[in-house]
Structure 1
Amino acid sequence: MGRTQQTACISDGGRTRRQVAAFEAYDSSFYAHYFPAQRTSTEILLPSFGVAKTVNPLEDNVEYWLSMNLNSCFDGPGIRLNDVGLDLVLTLDVSGSMGDRFEGEPGKTKLQIAQQSLLTLLKQLSPNDSLGIVLFNGTPRVLHPMEKFSSIDQEKLKEEILSLRAGGGTEISKAVQCATELNDQGNGREKRSRRIFFLTDMEVSHNDGREFLKHIQENAEKKQIWSTVVGVGLDLGTEVIQTVSRTIGCNYSNVRNARTFDQLMKTQFPYTVTPVGFHIQLNLVGDRYRLGQGYGSPEVYQYEQPIQQRQSIELVTEFALAMNEQNEVRGGYLLFQIIDQNKNSNTHEPLKMKTSWKTLQGSTESNEQEIQFSEQINSYTHAGIRKALLLVRYTKFVKRYLIVRRASATPDIMEEYQTMRRQFPRLVKYFQEEMILLNDRSLYEEEYRHLIDIAQKDDLPLDQNLLPNQTLALFNDSAIESAHSTTDHPNRCCICLTNDSSMILSPCAHQCLCKDCAQQPLSKCPLCREEITSITEQFQHL
């Protein structure tokens, strides 16, 4: 969805002070990881789905889940093949508050970080793009008029940017008007993308902020000038996040430190400015299934209790996504709990989805698919939904645990706290098993280490085999390493790497062993670590 970590704010005397929002962790935890994607070279937007039927490891009840991600020919390397050109106005906040200390990097001000970020943005532009720059405090001014990027003296522009100093009040609503007028002077070609990039700490009055957001919405709806709001030094507030998220073609980000933002822009910039569809609606066809809680975006997460059962959801904008070498994407992954209206039925009806959306040209397109839940427990369509579900269960538990741990010691809170302490080792064990099965070290570096840190700090008893050294040793298991070293020879036995694999393991159905290696005393599949109940030989037809 083209978004990074999100925050909420509470009004405080016309200014804003910020606190973590309810949906923050789910969206940012998804964005921090890669998920498998479906490559397409022709479709501007292509929905893909997965389902899971699992037992909740902490509550022992059966749950049904649906994953959704939207693929595009602009994803990954496709962004270079389908370049449409960009008219960009960079709008930099130089008000007095930007001279305050930047907490992410000691010794630097917010303006210094914003200057570095702006210079990073300049490096991402193509020669045929057009660029203009607006500065603002109490009054906006044009630092550089709209001009084709290849014609700009970049060294001179860099000197001008680095010479800027913070001072004065803040009128961001005037800045967006100035930036809009400047963008109107761009290339003017109909198919080009038009965008205003704001770098600001959003230390503005309530009315000025409201007027700013109103202008952003009008630009998107009437002019197809889209906006990106980058929070520098402070997390963006709830009203900014929700308004920007619900405005077509618009997105937001936060700068936590210059290095991270540099990396983000180097890998994500062309995708951040490339919307591929608007008003995407997912509808469940029929009466049996409904959408419960959603994760991965503030547009689908319900922060009000009780959770409403929905037959449809809408995403305002979908952006192109960067890909790694394994055709995996970061962000853009959604997960929904599915409510079965007929729990007592012995059979599962197919889950039927109809997805419709508006193209950039204003026409409507649609896609219909159906997918069947397995009769088996703990079944997943693919690794993506398994990983997303693991992250949701981790985040949901840890978030609640930390709240309860800090809460006043009422009898109800104490009872809940003791229950969660007993559940904590089960969560760690579940997370370790899933992480090793997925063979995903990124889950270890962030989430698993966090679990271990909490357990050690709170003196929670864990089995020795759950500790970091023992867990890392599981990643180095020779069978797993062998399995992943056979990528270029998919029919080779994953143990001896010599003979062809001809033996099929049940119930996982992996064909990964030769006849000789299958004689070894194996209890679990070397690829997925599911318990082996039987092994049969796959005979080759001549």
Structure 2
Amino acid sequence: MSPSSHSPCCTVIILLLLSYLSHLILSQNSPLSPPSSSSSNNDPCLTMQCASDEICVSGMQDGRMVAKCVSAPREEPSVMESADLSLRGGRMSMPAHSTRAYHSGYAPRAFASPTNTAAYSYSGTLGLTPGGAQDITNARQNIKNDYMPLPDSITYEGIFSEYYFDITGNQQCQEGQLFCPVFQTRVSVDPFTESGNGVPKQENYMAVGLKSSLTAADWERPRLNLGLVLDISGSMSAGMADYYYDFANNTWVRNDAEMITKMKVARESLVNLLQKLKPDDSVSIVVFDDKAELIQPLAKISDIDLTVLAKKILALEPRGGTDMSAGYGMMLKQFKNLTEASGENVENRIILLTDAQPNWGTINPEGLNRLIVDAYEKYKGTGTTFLLIGLDANTQLVELIGKVRGSNYFSIESVPQFKDRLRRTFDYMVTPLMFDLGMTMSSNGYRLKHVYGSPDVNATDENPQLIHVKSLFPSESSARGVKGGLVLLLLEKNENCVGENCDQIQLEVKYETRNGRVHTASRTFAYEGSLPTNEDDDLQDSIRKGILLTRYGRALKFWLQTERKVEHPTRPISPALIWRLGLPVDFPQSNRWELLSQKLTVSPAMKAVFRRLKDYFEEEMRAINDSDMQKDVDVILKLLKAPDTAPPDATPATNIAGEGTTGTPIVGYSTASVSPPLRNLNAGAPAGHAQPLPLGNVNNVNAAGGPLRPRNP
């Protein structure tokens, strides 16, 4: 038999042998020796203060350590560069310009101690920010890519968390006081409505600044038991700018080798996250598709070969369906033997990196929420953080299940963006400082009308708590103030009140610290119930910014709630792999979490709103002098250029403020072309549009929450 007849089989065998030998050779190489501790302690980035859009880089030059501030990277680097890991010859090393890497137990002080956070932020007091959404990145990215985001992707706490507020003023905390709320009041003219007699409507606001006496230099993150749960389901194969389930309409056509997929961003983000852990921290890693797999048992960082672990992570590929409950449940098994609950000395936390589109196992929100509640109540106070990846990440699901004590969530826009966030705020994002903050208001002259910036419910006559926040996390600070440390209250004046005490407001505050102690405080102050003068404005930038961002958020939510259609929740879809191969299959049904894209459109009536909003926003931005707000002006400009669409049929309307039925619109839209008020986004909507979804079982779901259909790769 001729040698050529053996060539295909021999070739395969030879290639396999070469691959195996190469693996053996690589695995024999020893890791790099860590830099000396002195070099890490002398890292000049520890004292360098950079602008919010810059990062500090350090390295050796002419035999000495130097540092400089550079613009944060915007382009997507390669896998190894973006993960800050260069795997050469089986070793883990850093790019030549940087000294920030460690292996198997070594961590430079710049990353080993939470006090390094002060190197990248202001050295003043820490702020506090509520749990829940920490940005509106998903909404902005959808609009940028010509898609309609989900209404739930816009939250007031998410908007506030992206901006700095100078909440200090002349109200100082006492030394050692963990929480000391500070207040500003402002009467503001509503630019969108009239009072009914042609006079612009005035609104009464009060800002609560969430301030602490702790400084970044004084505070230290406790030891961390961290569970990392990574989604490797088929939907993670989609590009960061694509909707995976659009293939049902044959519109998902991008499949080139250069496409930046959700899986690639998730892998590299996970490797970057590992670098923020200290030698005495512990970590476990679980991956899941329609089943879960443990790839790293819970162990101390000092006992883990990070090179091997990083290579294993970077080799993961998307596959199968999406069973979030399986991945989360397997991680809880790793946490069942924890001996110490979250407190002053330790934080137990699970981080899920996912697009939140479950279609297997438990998919109803009650069942998923129960898992997260059980993690906190039955597994030593284990909190949960969601890292959402991709335009099609389902923010509605996370909003429903993420409002649990100790929980928060972020969106990952790109690897460089996430690296910068980790560099600045990792210790903050995994360590809640306070729980169950309750604040009640008593006043004869004012009553609460709405709360903005708290993910939990507003006060009612039956429950007079005007703020209830289940968790408060530390927030970065700079010379410009505290990031996200604001809750805004809209008050209604009692015109029938007479007497000297009508302007008096009494606030009672109650909260619990990490050590389980409950603290209370009270304060009485007078509401300044007149329009501010020009001299006052310089002292009121924070509340003025909060009012502006609230009106911006209300307009976006109003638009999406009225003009974003809801597709039928059980339309047929075809599994990606089978569909690409052209093989016959029994078509499964999509469920409520598997999203299809909707092209960006804005009705002429809403464009009239956004034109008025743009003028108001730009005028206020100049007065406040915050150039960071240009990103939201750009969002408004994008909406003004979007294709027109006819507004949906609607019920009788209210004003854009969405705070009641009084007031006459003055921006060019009529009551026949808008939908119900925003004050209750779950109160209903026109048929076929933005219908609030029930929390019970959905179509094709059995009593246990599992789907009654084939797996969807």
TM-score w.r.t. structure 1 length? 0.71
Q: Decide which of 453, 467, 473 is 1:319's aligned counterpart.
A: 473
SS of corresponding position for 1:209:
coil
SS of corresponding position for 1:124:
coil
One-letter amino acid of the structure 2 residue matched with residue 61 of structure 1: K
The range that moved more, 287-296 or 391-400, is: 391-400
Contact 2:138–2:411, Cα closer than 8 Å, also in 1: no
Alignment of 1:336-355 (within 5 A): 336-342=489-495, 345=498, 348-355=502-509
CA distance in 2, matches of 1:428, 1:200: 34
SS of corresponding position for 1:46:
coil
Contact 2:559–2:606, Cα closer than 8 Å, also in 1: no
Q: Decide which of 304, 307, 319 is 1:155's aligned counterpart.
A: 307
Aligned to 2:401: 243
Aligned to 2:376: 220
CA distance in 1, matches of 2:498, 2:185: 18
| 1:465-497 superposed Cα distances (whole Å, 9 cap, x missing partner) | xxxxxxxxxxxxxxxxxxxxxxxxxxxxxxxxx
- Over 3 Å counting, the alpha-carbon distance change for 1:430 and 1:100 in structure 2 is closer
Q: Decide which of 208, 220, 234 is 1:68's aligned counterpart.
A: 208
Aligned to 1:252: 409
Aligned to 2:351: 197
Aligned to 1:538: none
CA distance in 1, matches of 2:610, 2:383: 45
Aligned to 1:139: 291
CA distance in 2, matches of 1:134, 1:280: 33
- Over 3 Å counting, the alpha-carbon distance change for 1:264 and 1:75 in structure 2 is farther
CA distance in 1, matches of 2:285, 2:563: 48
1:418 shift after superposition: 6.7
Find out whether 1:440 has 2:626 as its counterpart: yes
Aligned to 1:102: 240
Alignment of 1:69-468 (within 5 A): 69-73=209-213, 76-78=216-218, 81-103=219-241, 107-185=259-337, 188=340, 191-205=345-359, 208-210=362-364, 211-222=367-378, 223-233=380-390, 234-245=392-403, 247-300=404-457, 312-324=466-478, 326=479, 328-342=481-495, 345=498, 348-378=502-532, 382-397=540-555, 400=558, 421=608, 427-443=613-629, 445-451=630-636
1:393 shift after superposition: 2.4
Q: How many residues end up aligned between the 2 structures?
A: 435
Contact 1:213–1:240, Cα closer than 8 Å, also in 2: no
1:232 shift after superposition: 2.0
Contact 2:134–2:408, Cα closer than 8 Å, also in 1: no
1:186 shift after superposition: 5.3
Contact 1:405–1:417, Cα closer than 8 Å, also in 2: no
CA distance in 2, matches of 1:418, 1:232: 33
One-letter amino acid of the structure 1 residue matched with residue 490 of structure 2: Q
- Over 3 Å counting, the alpha-carbon distance change for 1:143 and 1:382 in structure 2 is same
SS of corresponding position for 1:374:
coil
Unaligned runs of 5+ in 1: 10-16, 408-415, 460-542
1:297 shift after superposition: 3.6
1:115 shift after superposition: 0.3
SS of corresponding position for 1:208:
coil
SS of corresponding position for 1:358:
strand
**Identity over aligned pairs, percent:** 25
- Over 3 Å counting, the alpha-carbon distance change for 1:110 and 1:19 in structure 2 is same
Q: Decide which of 157, 168, 176 is 1:27's aligned counterpart.
A: 157
- Over 3 Å counting, the alpha-carbon distance change for 1:281 and 1:173 in structure 2 is same
- Over 3 Å counting, the alpha-carbon distance change for 1:48 and 1:432 in structure 2 is same
One-letter amino acid of the structure 1 residue matched with residue 438 of structure 2: Q
CA distance in 1, matches of 2:360, 2:397: 10
TM-score w.r.t. structure 2 length? 0.55
CA distance in 1, matches of 2:636, 2:355: 32
Contact 1:231–1:254, Cα closer than 8 Å, also in 2: yes
Aligned to 2:22: none
- Over 3 Å counting, the alpha-carbon distance change for 1:235 and 1:294 in structure 2 is farther
One-letter amino acid of the structure 1 residue matched with residue 471 of structure 2: T
1:269 shift after superposition: 1.4
- Over 3 Å counting, the alpha-carbon distance change for 1:425 and 1:157 in structure 2 is closer
- Over 3 Å counting, the alpha-carbon distance change for 1:130 and 1:219 in structure 2 is same
